[in-house]
Structure 1
Amino acid sequence: MEYTELKVWKETRLLVNNVYDVTKAFPKDETYGLTSQIRRCVVSIPSNIAEGCGRRTPKDSIHFFHISRGSLYELETQLYLALDQNYIQEKEHKVLLDQIIGCKKLLNGFINYYKTLKTKQTINH
């Protein structure tokens, strides 16, 4: 299966689009601050999933999936900071957090699947 067909990749890509939409309303003086940081962070999530899928071994793949998961936690924190600064409304924040939680669950399942591949690979060698 191609990574572009994976639900986890599709959902994280949707998260990217939603975060970009929300950050368009951030103050202009945050363009090179929190806005940029949030956008770089969210883009890295599906990007690292794709990179992990392109690796040769499950161990290498899992490494990039863990980076992606770490970026989900980083994004969550940055969105709390944006809420603290009143850059986003409580309702927008909740929608994005719910999306992040869903992405974490999908990604954790995907990591666990790759761990079984890693175990099978170890047994077969």
Structure 2
Amino acid sequence: MQDFRNLAVWRHAHQLALAIYREASGFPDSERFGLTNQMRRSAASIPTNIAEGCGRSSDADFARFLHMALGSASELEYQILLAAGLGRLLPATAGSLIGQVQAIKKMSSSLVRRTRAPRSKNGPPTADS
């Protein structure tokens, strides 16, 4: 078990969630229970799953929660595309957010691979990716 706040991937995912909340606050009221809610839930799910995985007792459980975070990241990536297509996000903003999502997906995938690698004598993988 490790402190999720020490993970670079969690810190990036947390910043992305904050950015999504800020951007979605500018969506019209008609989207409050639609795209606004979906994007916020997907964005919050990424760091939430990483944090929950850190609280689990095995690398296999941690990897499982990282996979759930990856699924939420893919969901959010599409929702950003949808918001941009609907004119809710400026293309530059959407591009920046998608870049952040893709970086988090790469970091998460790398961390999954590291959790499945044989442990060194120094203990479990540090989650600095």
TM-score (normalizing by structure 1): 0.90
Gaps of 5+ in 2: 120-129
Q: Which residue is equivalent to 2:43? A: 42
| Count of aligned pairs between the two proteins | 118
User: Is 2:67 the counterpart of 1:66?
Assistant: yes
Deviations 1:5-41 (A, max 9, x none): 1100000000001111111111111001110011011
Secondary structure of residue in 2 paired with 1:68? helix
- The answer for the alignment partner of 2:20 in structure 1 is 19
Alpha-carbon offset, residue 90 of structure 1: 0.2
Aligned-residue offset at 1:89: 0.6
**RMSD of aligned alpha carbons:** 1.0
Cα distance in 1, alignment partners of residues 27 and 86 from structure 2: 10
More helix by share: 1
Gaps of 5+ in 1: 121-125
Q: Does 1:31 align with 2:46?
A: no
Which residue number in structure 1 is paired with residue 56 of structure 2?
Answer: 55
Structure 2 Cα separation of the partners of residues 64 and 55 of structure 1:
9
Q: What TM-score do you get using the length of structure 2 for normalisation?
A: 0.88
Segments of 4+ moved more than 2 angstroms = none
Aligned 1:76-115 pairs, distance under 5 A: 76-115=77-116
Partner residue, 2:124: none
Structure 1 SS opposite 2:27: coil
Q: Distance in 1 between matches of 2:63 and 2:104?
A: 16
1:41 partner amino acid: S
Corresponding residue of 1:5: 6
Give the secondary structure class of the aligned counterpart of 1:25: coil
Whole-angstrom distance in 1 between the partners of 2:38 and 2:3: 29
